[in-house]
Amino acid sequence: MSDRFTTLAAFREALAAAPGPDPDATEGAQARNRQLTKPPGALGRLEDLAIWYAGWRGTDRPRIAAPQVIVFAGNHGVTAQGVSAFPAEVTVQMVANFEAGGAAINQLSTLAGAKMDVYALSLDTPTADFTQAPAMDEAGFADALRTGWDAVDPGADLVIVGEMGIGNTTSASALAHALFGGAAEDWVGRGTGVDAAGLANKTRVVREGVARHGAAGDGLDLLCCLGGRELAAMAGAIARARVLRIPVILDGFICSAAAAALEAACNGALDHAVAGHVSAEAGHETLLRNLDKAPLLALGMRLGEGSGAAVAIHLLRAAVACHSGMSTFEEAGVAGG
């Protein structure tokens, strides 16, 4: 498999040809789980998570030693429609905060022992207002996908992608609405904290964007028309992790919408991913239900940045530590195994 795609067609081909989990590792992890010093199923979903992770890492006794957190930032032309409570300059300011180590995701990445990388995507040139034109042209969309693809460290054993971008809940809402239908109101939340009038305006913008682009094609086509560069970059990183068999923890609504575009374009594209949490943003729970992804945590978070997924690293690490570190009945000399 090539380390780098050159065209959107090649990206689609790489995603479609990506390998699945290692069946021998999965079978070995299942067999080991049956012999660990505990009643069958006593660790609940932790057991399923450990076996899932083992299959993707190709070993029946895995460990998590090199997680990577990648934050992508982009600016959206649709903010000209007044969809956010904050100006677009905040994106630039928050990128500086990430780089200085002052954001929540910096603290959570350090706590989890994760390498953290930040990518700002042409912040001085926002995407087009998607109520008037496609957010990105094909070349710009491919560049954003490629930024995410190239950002994944092949040596990582777990990947989390996060985002920053004023206006990106509007983009994610439009994308989810286009992918899954329903009413625009079902997908639109308050984002950065818009008031009732702002929420109504945001809903109008989403409705207009989907009316213009909703028949554009598959999930990748819709992501190009309605997404932002940071959403495209997250999709590129998630796809690259799939090719490399690196498990992914999905973050909140915006990350999940970007991931949903991949799944809509290629069935099974998210088999290597679990949902880190369900956020407080309207529509996220419904989106995860459509993806058949049960969240690991429900903490009322809605920050973005990869923060909820970074918290979930510890839960997945607990699952893997129990699976790989516990003794079997035979090793422990315990009867009943």
Burial class of residue 321, CB neighbours in 10 A (0-12, 13-18, 19+):
middle
**What tokens appear for 116 in the block?**
């953290």
Q: How far apart are CA 14 and CA 277, in angstroms?
A: 28
Considering the candidates 230, 305, 330, 331, report the single residue annotated as catalytic: 305
Q: Are 178 and 214 in contact (CB under 8 A)?
A: yes
Q: How far apart are CA 218 and CA 214, in angstroms?
A: 10
Q: Is 230 a catalytic residue?
A: no
Q: Tokens 């079978």 sit at which residue?
A: 27
Q: How far apart are CA 22 and CA 43, in angstroms?
A: 23
Q: How far apart are the first and last CA of the chain?
A: 43
DSSP annotation string for 250-267: E-SHHHHHHHHHHHHHST
**Residue 142 neighbours by CB under 8 Å, 6+ apart:** 7, 8, 11
Per-residue H/E/C for 208-226: HHHHHHCCCCCHHHHHHHH
**Residue 177 neighbours by CB under 8 Å, 6+ apart:** 184, 186, 187, 206, 207, 210, 214
Q: Tokens 């009732």 sit at which residue?
A: 196
Nearest to 225 by CA among 291, 306, 132: 132
Residues that are catalytic: 305
